[in-house]
Structure 1
């Protein structure tokens, strides 16, 4: 059977890979057009499948949003090197600029949902729970990097710096400027580690 002119051919998608492909498609739809563009049909069109498959996997639009948010944050955590596990400042967030360049829709999706949560407070609890993963990963890495206890204020400040740099690169480009800022952040962390070792 041939597809009508102007339509993308539909892909055959298996259950496991299909769910992830649908989440990637949802992230791209929102990243490019905002949350108001997120419909079963838009996700199906982006993924090259029937909209019934989207309904089958997620049931409701809210379930799709929640699953896509979890997927986006876990993807960002794994690609950013936020937590390389080495405890060395020079390894901290080495993949950050590449993460933005290779997945701008993934980052835009998260910012879209953050802003949308101001209008839809029911999203806030999901965002808080998932952002807690970012905060915890930052704190764990800083704990390996710095002698002594790492309080929540320090880990939030470092994460806020990283998030601001991601937003800057996403909007303005300027990867080199962001790389320089990350180098400065790593230098600050080295100095802090030395200062703590001296006490």
Structure 2
């Protein structure tokens, strides 16, 4: 593959797909556009992913893995003082990865075949939030859903508007709410 180091082509294609969808929407995602963005032949896209749906699903999985790790939802410290410490830097460092996921989510309204993939993505995020709540004594799926949706909204707003300070303030307030909820509802 010209211009891409051996062994990095698949990742370069995933990153190219993410950038294209983030900037042009899902309609801009073609084998040719991904190949051009990655600096490879368009046959490479088919070789690595086989079909368009697989490319989209694998790009989603790639984003989710990086996002869950980067958001730093889990902590070794008891309580919520470090909960979601990486969200602001995650979005600031790679807003395209978040925009990609939101573009796919919105497109799933028009293309129901994308809904199962987006539900799997959201299930990964929900599970990460739920694990951290359980670690702190809160085993409540409805509450975990509320926290997941709150974080999702914070990420969306930071992705769209780029206001790191506002997101930091909101996460700080969320941590305080979690600590208060824990003190009131969790018995040691």
The answer on whether the counterparts of 2:18 and 2:97 sit within 8 Å (CA) in structure 1 is yes
Residue 24, structure 1, aligned to residue 15, structure 2: yes
Write out per-residue CA displacement over residues 35-80 of structure 1, whole angstroms, 9 at most, x where no aligned residue.
0000111111111111111110011111111111111111111111
Runs of 5+ unmatched residues, structure 2? none
- TM-score w.r.t. the length of structure 1 is 0.89
C-alpha spacing 1:85/1:42, structure 2 compared with 1 (3 Å): farther
Per the TM alignment, residue 196 of structure 1 is displaced from its structure 2 partner at its CA by: 2.6
Deviant stretches of 4+, over 4 Å: none
Residue 163, structure 1, aligned to residue 140, structure 2: no
Alignment root-mean-square deviation, CA? 1.7
The answer on whether the counterparts of 1:25 and 1:46 sit within 8 Å (CA) in structure 2 is yes
Tell me the distance in 2 between the aligned counterparts of 1:61 and 1:50: 16
Tell me the distance in 2 between the aligned counterparts of 1:85 and 1:124: 34
Runs of 5+ unmatched residues, structure 1? 1-8
Tell me the distance in 1 between the aligned counterparts of 2:124 and 2:67: 11
Residue 60, structure 1, aligned to residue 51, structure 2: yes
Q: 2:71 aligns with which of 71, 75, 80?
A: 80
Matches within 5 A, 1:42-57: 42-57=33-48
Residue 91, structure 1, aligned to residue 77, structure 2: no
Q: How many residues align?
A: 188
- TM-score w.r.t. the length of structure 2 is 0.94
Residue 14, structure 1, aligned to residue 6, structure 2: yes
Matches within 5 A, 1:102-117: 102-117=93-108
Tell me the distance in 2 between the aligned counterparts of 1:36 and 1:76: 24
Tell me the distance in 2 between the aligned counterparts of 1:85 and 1:116: 37
C-alpha spacing 1:126/1:26, structure 2 compared with 1 (3 Å): same
Task: Pick the structure with greater CA Rg.
Answer: 1
